Amino acid sequence: MTSVEKRDVLVVGAGFGGLYSLHLLRESGFHVSAVERGSGVGGTWYWNRYPGARCDVESLQYSYSFDDDLQQEWEWTERYAGQPEILRYAEHVAERFDLADLIDFDTNVESMSYDSTTQKWTVSTNQRTYEAAFVVAATGCLSTANLPEFPGLETFEGDVYHTGRWPHEQVDFTGQRVGIIGTGSSAVQAIPVIASEAAELTVFQRTPNYSIPAHNQPLEPAVQAEVKSRYDELRQAARAERSGILSIFPPNEDSAREASDTEFRARMDERWDYGGFSFYRSYIDIVVDPESNERVADYVRGHITAKVDDPELATLLSPTNTIACKRPCLDTHYYETFNSSHVQLIDISDHEIETITPHGLRVRGEEFTFDALVFATGFDAMTGSLLKMNITGVADYTLNEAWANGPRTYLGLGIPSFPNLFTVTGPGSPSVLTNMIMAIEQHVEWIRDCLVSMRDNGYAAIEAKPDAADAWVSHVNSIADQTLYPSCNSWYLGANIPGKTRVFMPLIGFPDYAERCEEVASNNYEGFTLV
Ligand code: N01
């Protein structure tokens, strides 16, 4: 009989959430380890190695704050770190805090079930079985790649890539005819870089996206030193921001709709020239007031028209939907790339890809020939990785049954009928609408405090109450409904996956959320049942 590995806590995933969970829980005296399906740490930064992959949050902010020596000593080289640098950072953290020995790599959870009698989880993986009092699912929000079922895909004789599952070996597109499907954040980053190598690049666009220039650049040592000299103060200020991200521009209460033309132009130009997500903080009502939203959208369309030489192409690349209701993109020379004669855009807004063929693909009856196909078709966001684990809670109730009508969590941390299972940045928490590492730290610290409190008070099990979860899901959606976020087919709503129930999954507003989590803890874990 194969032996069962026993743990106090089993963490699933060794990305930034998993690494910090291991560190904090071991420090607090728990027997903890992690399983990770990859062969190394880094989570999203381990898998997303596509050309041009880079973080859209500035590196001095997209980093852990929990250890001052770590944040003082690590030197970032660019305003926005590229994937290789972020992966090195994750590896450095694992080494510095001696975490690698706690991680079982190449280990994929196949199923897990809760035994109400023993109050323990049994977790079956492709390698071994674990029994743990608690499971911390640090499985990431964008970690299950979405590869739509294109007919004929298996017949393609060239190379096939998905941005979210990029090979570890260097991919060289030199001299190749490459087709890329999708124009979301991943494609917007990859297209200029692939175009710089490929002989021909054809982009299949179903919906155009708004993209703001990143203006990435080497990080000036003086800028880095200045931030590091005030790190605590800056991190604290970031946590008070709705997105958990600090901007050099102070917050304002101004309406884009009410601004005079001169004022509006000057402010938008300043943000455009600075680059990055500060653009969306130019006016407070961009994601609330349709007129303000349209004014800002029109400003971006003006830039697209100015950047793209061919007016018809500029129109095709110009979105008409609400700006920022899909996750905004940042780019480096995205629109300009379409001025190159070897790059062409195929609008498929009215035509699904009919079939993949042995030598390319067919759409609108037209055949395109490629050496390589790149799918930049995104992720089954926020719930995909959790649902894939075949989780069974109390009374044989499965997570797939529990979430048939969309994810139902309390605080994005606990799920009724699934005791002793915590989700890090789970649906119903601010997660993807914030700086993920900051959101991860807040969640992992809350989970650690909860487990220490349970141990101190002799509790063995914690479970979210159904009515608390129902009220929480209504709260998340009522906040989203006061904004324009739910107005387009975004992955925030699950709208990118055929058949997935549309529910707005992330919670808007980090500070109120963090305060609520603290209140819940100090009210003896109000909304949870402790036994
Ligand atoms: O995925 P997406 P992504 N036929 O879902 C198209 C994060 N991220 O990987 O819009 C044809 O945004 C789809 O078309 P449509 C970030 O949070 C972060 O680019 O559904 N096309 C869309 O154009 C981001 O939002 C960073 O009409 C199909 C594209 O594929 C999230 O990851 C960098 C199709 C998918 O876009 C996901 O971004 C990159 C089909 N059947 C990503 N199915 C950094 O911060 C889908 N599409 C570093």
Joined tokens for residue 37: 């399906």
Residue 410: the pLDDT is: 98
Q: Which residue CA neighbors atom 10 of ligand 1 most closely?
A: 207
Strand pairing report for 109-115 and 120-125? antiparallel
Reduced to 3 states, what is the DSSP secondary structure of residue 357?
A: strand
Bridge partners of residue 11, in order along the sequence: 34, 136
In DSSP terms, 132 is beta-bridged to 7, 121
What is the Cα–Cα distance from 252 to 258, expressed in whole angstroms?
A: 13
Give me the CATH topology for the region 4-144+380-530.
FAD/NAD(P)-binding domain (3.50.50)
Q: From CA 405, how far away is CA 403, in angstroms rounded?
A: 5
Q: Report how far ligand 1's centroid is from the alpha carbon of 315 (Å).
A: 20
Residue 475 makes CB contacts below 8 A (sequence gap 6+) with 507
Do 136 and 12 touch, CB atoms closer than 8 A? yes
Helices and strands of the chain, counted as H and E runs: 16, 20
Nearest in space to 151 (alpha carbons), one of 351, 361, 346, 380: 361
Nearest to 301 by CA among 318, 316, 287, 313: 318
Q: Domain residue spans in the chain?
A: 4-144+380-530, 145-210+324-378
Distance (Å, whole) CA 297 – CA 249: 20
pTM: 0.97
**What letter represents residue 122's amino acid?**
T
Q: CB atoms < 10 A from the CB of 145, how many?
A: 18
Would you give per-residue pLDDT tens digits along the chain (531 residues)? 468 999 999 999 999 999 999 999 999 999 999 999 999 999 999 999 999 999 999 999 999 999 999 999 999 999 999 999 999 999 999 999 999 999 999 999 999 999 999 999 999 999 999 999 999 999 999 999 999 999 999 999 999 999 999 999 999 999 999 999 999 999 999 999 999 999 999 999 999 999 999 999 999 999 999 999 999 999 999 999 999 999 999 989 999 999 999 999 999 999 999 999 999 999 999 999 999 999 999 999 999 999 999 999 999 999 999 999 999 999 999 999 999 999 999 999 999 999 999 999 999 999 999 999 999 999 999 999 999 999 999 999 999 999 999 999 999 999 999 999 999 999 999 999 999 999 999 999 999 999 999 999 999 999 999 999 999 999 999 999 999 999 999 999 999 999 999 999 999 999 999 999 999 999 999 999 999
Residue 52 CA to ligand 1 center (angstroms) comes to: 15
Q: How far is the CA of 338 from the centre of ligand 1 (A)?
A: 19
Ligand 1 centre to CA of 181 (Å) is: 10
The tokens 């409904």 sit on which residue?
Answer: 481
Pocket of ligand 1 (CB under 6 A): 54-56, 142, 148, 163, 181-187, 189, 206-207, 327, 353, 376-379, 432, 491, 496
Shortest-distance Cα residue to atom 25 of ligand 1: 327
**pLDDT on residue 58:** 97
- E strands, 241-390, are 329-331, 343-347, 355-357, 360-363, 366-369, 372-375
Q: What is the dihedral angle through the alpha carbons of 143, 144, 145, 147, rounded to the nearest 10 degrees?
A: -170
At residue 101, the pLDDT reads: 97
CA of 111 to the centre of ligand 1 (A): 28
| Residue 231: predicted pLDDT | 98
C-alpha to C-alpha distance for 334 and 207, rounded to whole angstroms: 15
And the tokens for 529?
A: 């049942």
User: Whose CA is closest to atom 16 on ligand 1?
Assistant: 185
Q: CA 466 to CA 29: how far, in whole Å?
A: 31
Q: How far is 143 from 370, CA to CA, in rounded Å?
A: 27
Q: What is the reported pLDDT for 23?
A: 98
C-alpha 26/C-alpha 525 separation (Å) is 23
How far the first Cα of the chain sits from its last, in Å, is 32
Fold match between 4-144+380-530 and 145-210+324-378? yes
The helix-helix angle for 231-239 and 436-457 (nearest 10°) equals 90
Report the sign of the C-alpha dihedral through residues 194, 196, 201, 204, in that order. positive
Instruction: Quote the CA–CA distance of 82 and 230 in Å, as a whole number.
Output: 24
Distances (CA, A) of 491 to 204, 328, 398, 478, 498: 19, 12, 23, 18, 11
DSSP 463-516: EE-HHHHHHHHHHHHHHHHTSSGGGS--GGGTTTSTT------SPS-HHHHHHH
Q: What is the pLDDT of residue 195?
A: 98
CB atoms closer than 10 angstroms to residue 518: 13
Three state DSSP letters for 360-386: EEEECCEEEECCEEEECCCECCCCHHH
Fold of 145-210+324-378: FAD/NAD(P)-binding domain (3.50.50)
Q: What is the pLDDT of residue 164?
A: 98
Residue nearest to atom 29 of ligand 1 (CA): 182
